[in-house]
């Protein structure tokens, strides 16, 4: 199946305008058919040995979101304590999640036992299953952006909070807790870049020809 | 920036027609500007705390590819020995890489020390940096597909072979070795599905409402 130039440009537009959303969520509900399309895209990510190790726990209730928010607050307090001086002040000024504002939360997981103990392609590197679930996250994120829906990845939360709150079995690994919703607007740059937290690295400094080269940013 | 319906459909078309390519690579070179666009897309993946932990080692020489192929052969021999009976026969009949046929190889890595020891958002879950590099892999894969270029992820190779062959420093984690090239055609389904290795799970069996539910495929 051939992708046309216009279609290619649409893919790039979506990739370059994807953002990690925290503050811009609106309450507008996400229709079921739109959510279904986004999850179908996630389910069509590559997976090692076609094991499809992902599951999607959909969170809608205020009660569940409140428990997860408490988990964030706890983990964020621990994180804050690690920063010092001006950096701590800056850290505290950042909004780092939109758990309660986003109409939908999705926990993407990895079932490391799916399809049995022996998985094609997961013999030299046992983490390939985790990586497959991350590919599903990125497919989901781009599909949502293509639907003009924002996604925010909440990484400042402990796994045990996700396990307990969502009833996820012990052997299932939570990979990402994602907040989804329509947004007032998408930022034109990543917020951490806009706010001066870190700069974007030049692409050239990340490219090595044939062999690893020492680059200044190391 | 609004994504139109036609643009949205282009993103879905790309996601659903992306394949893990092994046997269909053609020798046609990938122009530099096309490769640059694909790498730029990878570089615009989400990363935890905007740390952008990825690097891209571009492999073009037959000599390097030959060494990597040897690494695959070794790891594949080990893998083959784990399968039994009919499954072993089927495993042996599959082509699982196109290292030498693909004009370009790209090793995507993760520098776990980039931007210093303390990374925003990487405090509760230390693997977030690895996940960021995987997001770059998936962006790269979709961008390549949008350019009608096939990508194959070679996971049957040991990290130490990538470290040694490509001169990657010890503290840098190889995330993926990807083969890139134009293709004779893209399969209409994942090859492992087509060949009956495993079936695609139903999406409904992977969706849980509010709480994890026991599903039959577990």
Q: What is the pTM of this model?
A: 0.98
Mean of the per-residue pLDDT values of chain A = 97
At B125, the pLDDT band (50, 70, 90 cuts) reads very high
**How far apart are the C-alpha atoms of B65 and B106, rounded to whole Å?**
11
pLDDT tens, B36-57?
A: 999 999 999 999 999 999 999 9
pLDDT at B217 over 70: no
Q: Min CA distance, B209 vs chain A (Å)?
A: 5
**How far apart are the C-alpha atoms of B43 and B53, rounded to whole Å?**
10
Asked if B34 contacts A177 with a C-beta cutoff of 8 angstroms, the reply is no
Q: How many domains does chain A have?
A: 1
Q: What percent of chain A is modeled with pLDDT above 90?
A: 98
Neighbours of B82 (CB within 10 A): 13
| Domain region containing A45 | 19-187
Is B26 part of any domain? yes
Interface of A with B in 32-91 (CB under 8 A): 36-37, 39-41, 43-46, 48-52, 54-61, 64, 75, 78-79, 82-83, 91
Is A8 part of any domain? no
Is A110 part of any domain? yes
A195-201's contacts with Cβ under 8 Å and 24+ in sequence apart are A195/A90, A195/A94, A197/A90, A197/A94, A197/B49, A197/B50, A197/B120, A198/B49, A198/B50, A198/B51, A198/B52, A198/B115, A200/B50, A200/B52, A201/B43, A201/B52
**Residue for token pair 């890595």:** B109
The average pLDDT across B146-166 equals 98
Interface ipTM: 0.98
Nearest CB neighbour to B115, from listed A1, A166, A198? A198
**Residue for token pair 């020489």:** B61
Q: Which residues of A touch B121 (CB under 8 A)?
A: 96, 155-156
Q: Which of B175, B176, B47, B51 is nearest to B113 (CA)?
A: B51
Is B207 part of any domain? no
pLDDT at B218 over 60: no
Contact status of B173 with chain A (Cβ, < 8 Å): no
Is A172 part of any domain? yes
**Residue B215: its pLDDT value, please?**
82
Asked if A88 contacts A80 with a C-beta cutoff of 8 angstroms, the reply is yes
The average pLDDT across B120-134 equals 97
Is A9 part of any domain? no
Mean of the per-residue pLDDT values of chain B = 97
The CATH number that applies at residue A122 is: 3.40.109.10
What pairs with residue A182 in β-bridges?
A149
Is B218 part of any domain? no
Is B14 part of any domain? no
Tokens matching residue A27: 């309450």
pLDDT tens, A134-168?
A: 999 999 999 999 999 999 999 999 999 999 999 99
pLDDT tens, A66-89?
A: 999 999 999 999 999 999 999 999
Nearest CB neighbour to A7, from listed B14, B78, B122? B14
């Amino acid at each position: 199946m051939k992708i046309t130039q216009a279609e290619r440009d649409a893919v790039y537009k979506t990739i370059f305008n994807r953002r990690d959303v925290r503050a811009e969520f609106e309450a507008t509900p996400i229709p079921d058919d739109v959510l279904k399309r986004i999850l179908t895209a996630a389910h069509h990510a590559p997976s090692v040995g076609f094991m499809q190790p992902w599951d999607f726990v959909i969170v809608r209730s205020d009660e569940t979101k409140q428990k997860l928010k408490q988990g964030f607050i706890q983990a964020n307090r621990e994180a804050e304590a690690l920063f010092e001086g001006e950096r701590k002040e800056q850290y505290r000024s950042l909004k780092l999640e939109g758990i309660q504002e986003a109409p939908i939360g999705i926990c993407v997981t990895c079932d490391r036992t799916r399809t049995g103990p022996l998985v094609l392609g997961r013999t030299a590197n046992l983490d390939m299953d985790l990586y497959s679930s991350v590919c599903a996250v990125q497919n989901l994120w781009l599909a949502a952006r293509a639907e003009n829906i924002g996604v925010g990845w909440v990484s400042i939360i402990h796994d045990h909070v996700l396990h307990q709150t969502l009833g996820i079995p012990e052997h299932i690994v939570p990979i990402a807790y994602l907040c989804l919703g329509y947004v007032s607007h998408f930022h034109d740059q990543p917020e951490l870049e806009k706010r001066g937290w870190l700069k974007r690295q030049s692409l050239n400094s990340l490219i090595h020809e044939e062999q690893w080269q020492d680059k200044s940013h190391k």
